[in-house]
Amino acid sequence: MIKLIKNVEVYSPEKIGKSDVLIADMRIAAISPEIHMAESEYVEIIDGTGKLLVPGFIDAHVHILGGGGEGGYRTRTPELQLSDLIKGGISTVVGCLGTDGIARNMESLVAKAYGLREEGVTAFVYTGSYRVPVKTLTESIQKDIMMIEPVIGVGEVAVSDHRSSVPTREELARVIADARVGGILSGKSGVVNIHLGDGKTGLNPIEEVLSSSDIPYTQVLPTHANRNPDLYVEALKYAKNGGYVDFTTSTVPAFIEEGEVKASKAFAMALEQGVSSDHMTFSSDGQGSLPRFDKLGKLEGLDVGKVTSLFESVVELVREFNISLEVALKPITENPARLLKLKGKGTIAVGCDADLVLLDSESLQITDVFYRGKQMMKATRLVECGTFERCDS
Ligand code: ZN
């Protein structure tokens, strides 16, 4: 089935302007001010009037298998469901393990990624968990990246955190070097996604490796860089030196009160301070556990990080910080696609995968979602949902 989206304002994320967009064979076949085609049993015409067409979003740090568990076994969080991704406009996801690399493992993570692929998502994984040495599938970081197709890098390796394995500089350097070579030999990025905690050493463990080796800054992506004000200041310096930094969008009010810089604010302030908009990414940390406190600071229960927070942060950038949509979209589209070498993703251009999101031009609400041309959401209603879900729920 060919689809033709008519009269829509296209953001690639760069503003292209009013266009007609033709989707054929799961890809974008043409973008032109005027494409004429009659509706038929083979051609579906979609009216894009009053809508913005943007690339499907990329969420490069999600606990697709569930995460958490840091308050005991019952705090292990549930698996990600397809409908969550669709509601968030996310067509590409990178799954990872977290603190727990024992009761969660790589076999299950890869199986979950395959499951999401069967449901239409573009899904990849990082090999490993918080710990070094990295527990891989094949006993080798290089081999995992080269021989296990969904593995595109390593992560989330924890540093500066009381839950980390406290890797030495040499150990961390070896992980990054192995990932780099695995990436070079497979045509993948081999990026090492590094979890930053609240620990005293901040970004130093990464800086020490990069400043004393020949490995480029683009080989690592430190995440949670907005988790406290001191770390955030360090992260801006790091980004100005050429690094990429990732801001986490899932949060709770208690974290913000404790000093977490919310992702939208982190991006907007960084721009003001001269950090390139090309060097920042957002990820949701979806399905991670988030503690919920009452007014007296007593733990009331736990929430689960939501992938829908990813685009909400982009809307905040536009609404609260007056950032143009074309810049605000970069951290969830072209920036992660470039860094993670995700071909055909993160942009709207002829030949790219037809991963697309339609937004209401006034409210910026997600109204329609396409995964490789297949409609997953139509007029704000789910058309598709996960194997164990009901679309009307
Ligand atoms: Zn983390």
| pLDDT value at residue 393 | 54
φ, ψ for residue 68 (rounded to 5)? 65, -145
Q: Identify the sign of the CA torsion 96, 101, 106, 111.
A: negative
Instruction: Give the DSSP H/E element, type plus range, for residue 247.
Output: strand 245-248
- Tell me the CA–centroid distance for residue 109 and ligand 1, in Å: 16
pTM of the model: 0.97
CB atoms within 10 A of CB 218: 16
- Tell me the CA–centroid distance for residue 196 and ligand 1, in Å: 7
Walk along the chain (393 residues) in steps of 10 and give the mean pLDDT of each run: 97 97 97 96 97 98 93 93 98 96 97 98 98 96 98 96 94 98 98 96 96 94 97 96 96 87 98 97 95 72 93 98 98 98 98 98 98 98 94 70
- Tell me the CA–centroid distance for residue 391 and ligand 1, in Å: 31
The active-site residue, picked from 285, 353, 355, 368, is 285
Tally of residues, the chain: 393
- Tell me the CA–centroid distance for residue 13 and ligand 1, in Å: 28
- Tell me the CA–centroid distance for residue 54 and ligand 1, in Å: 28
**285 included as an active-site residue:** yes
| pLDDT value at residue 218 | 95
- Tell me the CA–centroid distance for residue 282 and ligand 1, in Å: 13
| pLDDT value at residue 229 | 96
What single-letter amino acid sits at 140?
Answer: S
H-helix segments, the chain? 82-87, 106-118, 141-147, 169-186, 204-211, 229-240, 253-257, 263-272, 309-319, 325-328, 334-339
- Tell me the CA–centroid distance for residue 225 and ligand 1, in Å: 10
Ligand 1 (single-atom ion) residues, CB below 5 Å: 156, 195
Could you write out the DSSP letters of every residue in 201-246? TTTHHHHHHHHTSS--GGGEEEE-TTSSHHHHHHHHHHHHTT--EE
- Tell me the CA–centroid distance for residue 273 and ligand 1, in Å: 26
